[in-house]
């Protein structure tokens, strides 16, 4: 059975998952402060990670994602929920240290060459969905037709509450040039193994 990590679970315990929190609450399997590195797991342990409303409480997103990349298998999925700036959900909680926009996780993708030089960890974005405040959820489908436009130009009028994003771990040492394709003009086709 593939392992799933419930990161910063609090009281939201998932049966069949490894439930990690910094407090020893009922159902917590591993007690660990996520600002302390390395995390207490071997390399390539998890196939799935759920991080619901935890990343905004941590000190350094780059280090957290590097650790998650290390403890996850190549191709593992990360299901993340974070509050989106500029809403009250992002700024009203005094324990929030990190803030997120629709584009924040693009800095960790291979596709964004102009953005990803800050970090070693790489992910592929499988999906992103903006969720509005509970009173405006009937607009969620409409908002997600053009999320970049909405978040960049209309976020004060229709403030997004949360971002649900699904990432796939891409291990750099496991990306190899494709053996059956020729190289030309500096282009290397890749095969992910």
Euclidean distance between CA atoms 91 and 84, whole angstroms? 9
Assess whether pLDDT exceeds 80 at residue 25.
Answer: yes
**Which of the four pLDDT bands, split at 50, 70 and 90, describes residue 190?**
very low
Assess whether pLDDT exceeds 50 at residue 186.
Answer: no
- What is the number of other CB atoms lying within 10 angstroms of the CB of residue 87? 17
pLDDT digits (tens, 9 = 90+) for 50-72: 999 999 999 999 999 999 999 99
What does the chain look like in DSSP terms, one character per residue?
Answer: ---EEEET-TT---TTSEEEESS--TT-SEE--TTSSS-SS-TT-EEEEEEES-GGGSS-HHHHHHHHHHHEEEEEEEEEEEEBTTSHHHHS-TT----B-TTGGGGGBSS-TTTGGG-S-EEEEEEEEEEE-GGGGGGHHHHTTSHHHHHHHSTTTS-EEEEEEEEEEE-GGGEEE-TTS--BTTB--EEE-
Go through the domains of the chain in sequence order and give each one's CATH number.
Answer: 4-192 (3.40.50)
**Which of the four pLDDT bands, split at 50, 70 and 90, describes residue 177?**
very low
Euclidean distance between CA atoms 90 and 131, whole angstroms? 13
Report, as an integer, the average pLDDT of 127-152.
67
Is the Cα torsion angle 127, 53, 75, 119 positive or negative in sign? positive
Tokens of 189: 């086709």
Assess whether pLDDT exceeds 70 at residue 126.
Answer: yes
Assess whether pLDDT exceeds 60 at residue 187.
Answer: no
* Contact partners, residue 77, CB within 8 Å, separation at least 6: 47, 48, 49, 126, 166, 167, 168, 169
Assess whether pLDDT exceeds 80 at residue 166.
Answer: yes
- What is the number of other CB atoms lying within 10 angstroms of the CB of residue 70? 18
Report, as an integer, the average pLDDT of 15-32.
97
pLDDT of residue 145: 64
């Amino acid at each position: 059975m593939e392992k799933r990590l419930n990161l910063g679970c609090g009281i939201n315990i998932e049966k069949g998952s490894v439930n990690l929190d910094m407090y020893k609450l009922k159902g917590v399997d591993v007690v660990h402060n996520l600002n302390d590195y390395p995390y207490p797991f071997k390399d390539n342990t998890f196939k799935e990670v759920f991080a619901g409303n935890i990343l905004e409480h941590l000190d350094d997103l780059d280090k957290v994602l590097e650790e998650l990349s290390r403890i996850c298998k190549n191709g593992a999925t990360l299901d993340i929920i974070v509050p989106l700036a500029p809403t009250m959900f992002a700024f009203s909680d005094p324990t929030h240290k990190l803030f997120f926009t629709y584009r924040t996780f693009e800095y960790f993708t291979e596709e964004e060459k102009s953005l990803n030089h800050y970090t070693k960890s790489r992910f592929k974005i499988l999906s992103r969905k903006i969720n509005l405040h509970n009173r405006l959820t009937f607009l969620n489908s409409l908002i997600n037709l053009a999320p970049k436009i909405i978040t960049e130009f209309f976020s004060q009028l229709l403030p997004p509450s949360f971002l649900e994003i699904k990432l796939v771990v891409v291990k750099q040492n496991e990306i190899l040039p494709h053996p059956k394709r020729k190289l030309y003009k500096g282009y290397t086709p890749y095969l992910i193994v």
